[in-house]
Amino acid sequence: MRIAVLDDDPILLELIKGTLERHHHVCHTYADGTSLLKDVRHDTFDLLIVNWHLPDMEGSDVVQTVRQMSGLQLPILFITRRQDERDVVEALTRGADDVMTKPLRMGELVARMTALLRRAFPEAMGSRLVFGPYCFDADKRELSVHDQPVELKNREYELALFMFRNPGRLLSRAHLREVVWGDTVEAPSRSLDTHVSRLRTKLELTDANGYTITAIYGMGYRLDPVGSDSPASHRAPAEATH
């Protein structure tokens, strides 16, 4: 999963980043709220970890702004040294899904994150996925359409699996590149477009089969189930399609 962590303590940021990477997550760290909010406007994450006290604004204001921009699906874990009940209530009221008090215990942090991700993205946690005529076996890395196996190259399969695990959700170009090419490699933008085009053809992503891929200008791509509008919670401000 792709996770953003916001805290002004560089030592804690490195500790959380190392812990998450050992659990096979991709972690992006931020030291101030302004930087995170700037990226959230054109990028996507699977979960946010936000500290209360920040150098430029309160973490609760960050959470509230993110909710207005990204909707309700994005899980947010609030971390704070405050322990009063009224502080926990305020954090939850402003849009946090869970609250942890410092000092953090890394095992508990991972467990709480996993629970939040499981509730937010239940499709992403299973190994066998069926979407109409499309059937994935993630353990065997096999995909069939109308019970017929489809041959895909490794990156094509990774891209298809990830998009079907996130139906109706806008995924930024950077998010997709990290999943398919790895977080240490900057794949050319055109390579992603080429892979998406191949999937449209190989998987016959058409109205007849119930799923299409929509390109969102300046953002990324979204796999849309036919006949149901994409939820507004997955859209970026002033989103445009082409």
The C-alpha atoms of residue 70 and residue 237 are separated, in whole angstroms, by: 8
Q: 109 and 146 share a domain? A: no
- Judge contact between 180 and 199, C-beta under 8 A: no
- Judge contact between 8 and 80, C-beta under 8 A: no
For residue 52, what are the domain limits?
A: 2-120
Q: 97 and 47 share a domain? A: yes
Strand ranges of the sheet holding 98-101, from the earlier edge strand across to the other edge: 26-30, 2-6, 47-51, 76-80, 98-101
Q: 152 and 97 share a domain? A: no
pLDDT, position 236: 43
| Closest by Cα among 36, 86, 25 to 61 | 36
Q: 150 and 214 share a domain? A: yes
Q: 44 and 16 share a domain? A: yes
Last residue of a domain, one of 97, 120, 143: 120
Last residue of a domain, one of 102, 120, 138: 120
Last residue of a domain, one of 88, 120, 152: 120
Task: Kindly report, residue by residue over 133-172, the tens digit of the pLDDT.
Answer: 999 988 889 999 999 999 999 999 999 999 999 999 999 9
Residues forming a β-bridge with 98? 77
Cβ neighbors of 177 (< 8 A, separation 6 or more) are: 185, 186, 187, 192
Q: 107 and 135 share a domain? A: no
Answer yes or no: is 241 within a domain.
Answer: no
Answer yes or no: is 79 within a domain.
Answer: yes
Dihedral Cα 147, 150, 156, 158, nearest 10 deg:
40
Mean predicted confidence (pLDDT) in 168-194: 81
Indicate the pLDDT class of residue 211, thresholds 50, 70 and 90: very high
pLDDT, position 209: 95
The pLDDT of residue 187 is above 60? no
CATH number of the CATH domain containing 14: 3.40.50.2300
Cis-peptide, bond into residue 103, ω within 30° of zero: yes
pLDDT, position 229: 55
Dmax of the chain from CA atoms?
58
pLDDT, position 120: 87
